[in-house]
Amino acid sequence: MTQAIRVLLVDDQELIRVGFRMVLEAEDDIVVVGEAGDGRAAIAQSAVLAPDLVLMDIRMPELDGIAATEAIIRDRPQTKVLVLTTFDLDEYAFGAIRAGASGFLLKDAQRHEMISAVRAVHRGDAALSPRITRMLLEHVSPRLESPSSGPAAAETAALASLTDRERDVFVAIGRGLTNAEIAQTLYVGESTVKTHVGRVLAKLGARDRIHAVIVAHRLGVVGD
C-alpha cells in the first residue's frame, strides 16, 4: 500500500483549518499530521512533524506565509509547500513561489481541485489554479528573476546537456503544458513524457515543475 501523504495545515483561521482537514482526511491517501495558526508555528511544526507537504496560508499575523515558506524549504528542502491565496495573481503568491513554494491555489477552489493539487505537488508536479496558470506564465519571468542576473553558468550548461527530445519537453514545461498536453504535442505516450520530465528536472537541478518554468524563462527558451 502506498504511504499516505502527510500534510501540515497552516492558516490563522481555525474554521478554515477544520474545513480543509475534513476535505483532506476524507481521502485514503492523505493524512493531516498537524496544524498551525501562524508562520512561526508552521516552521516549528515542520521541524517536529516532518510533513511531506505544507498547505500554507499567505497572509497571517506574526510571520506571513512567504517568510515561513522560505524557512521551511531552507531547513527541509524535501518538504513541498502549496500556498493558499484569496485573489488571482496575488503579489504574495508570487513571493511565495520565489521563496520555494511548488504552486498556489485559490482558497475558493473546488474540493477536487484541492485534492488534485496536493497530489500533484507531492509527486513533484506544479500545482496552479487552472484559472490562473496561463496568466502566471505571462508574468512569472519578470517577477521572479533578479533584475541584474541572467541565467547562471550551471543552468546554461544543463541546457546544453539536454537531448533534443528533452529540450522539446523542457520548452513545453516552460509553456505551462501538462504531461497529457506534451504527449499530444510530441506524439508520444504520457508515460514517456513523465520519464523525460524526470530527466529534465534532474539535469537542471530543478526541485519541481515550477522551478523548471522559472529556469526556462530565465534561459529564454520559451517564445512569446
CATH of the domain at 196: 1.10.10.10
131: in domain: yes
> Which of 140, 169, 200 marks a domain boundary?
140
* Rounded Cα distance, 57 and 128, in Å: 15
* Rounded Cα distance, 6 and 54, in Å: 9
* Rounded Cα distance, 152 and 170, in Å: 17
Q: How many domains does the chain have?
A: 2
The answer to whether residues 123 and 197 belong to one domain is: no
The answer to whether residues 10 and 91 belong to one domain is: yes
Top-confidence residue, 177 or 48: 48
> Which of 94, 118, 140 marks a domain boundary?
140
The answer to whether residues 85 and 42 belong to one domain is: yes
The answer to whether residues 123 and 189 belong to one domain is: no
The answer to whether residues 92 and 158 belong to one domain is: no
What residue numbers bound the domain in which 187 lies? Answer: 153-219
97: in domain: yes
The answer to whether residues 28 and 113 belong to one domain is: yes
Q: Is the pTM of this model over 0.85?
A: no
146: in domain: no
The answer to whether residues 61 and 104 belong to one domain is: yes
The answer to whether residues 30 and 134 belong to one domain is: yes
The answer to whether residues 109 and 159 belong to one domain is: no
> Which of 106, 140, 174 marks a domain boundary?
140
66: in domain: yes
CATH of the domain at 99: 3.40.50.2300
148: in domain: no
User: Nine-digit cell at 194?
Assistant: 513523465
The model's pLDDT over 56-87, given as tens digits with 9 standing for 90+, comes to: 998 888 888 889 999 999 999 889 999 887 76
The answer to whether residues 33 and 122 belong to one domain is: yes
224: in domain: no
The answer to whether residues 16 and 117 belong to one domain is: yes
DSSP string for residues in the chain = -PPPEEEEEE-S-HHHHHHHHHHHHTSTTEEEEEEESSHHHHHHHHHHH--SEEEEESS-SSS-HHHHHHHHHHH-TTSEEEEEESSTT-HHHHHHHHHT-SEEEETT--HHHHHHHHHHHHTT--EE-TTTHHHHHHHHHHHHS-TT----HHHHHHHHHS-HHHHHHHHHHHTT--HHHHHHHHTS-HHHHHHHHHHHHHHHT-SSHHHHHHHHHHHT-S--
pLDDT interval class at 98 (50, 70, 90): confident
Angle, CA of 128, 89 and 196, to the nearest 5°: 30
Top-confidence residue, 182 or 143: 182
147: in domain: no
The model's pLDDT over 19-48, given as tens digits with 9 standing for 90+, comes to: 999 999 999 999 999 999 999 999 999 999
List the single range of 58-62, 86-90, 105-109 with lowest mean pLDDT. Answer: 86-90
Measured between alpha carbons, how far apart are the two ends of the chain, in Å?
A: 44
115: in domain: yes
* Rounded Cα distance, 199 and 196, in Å: 5
Nearest to 201 by CA among 164, 163, 170: 170
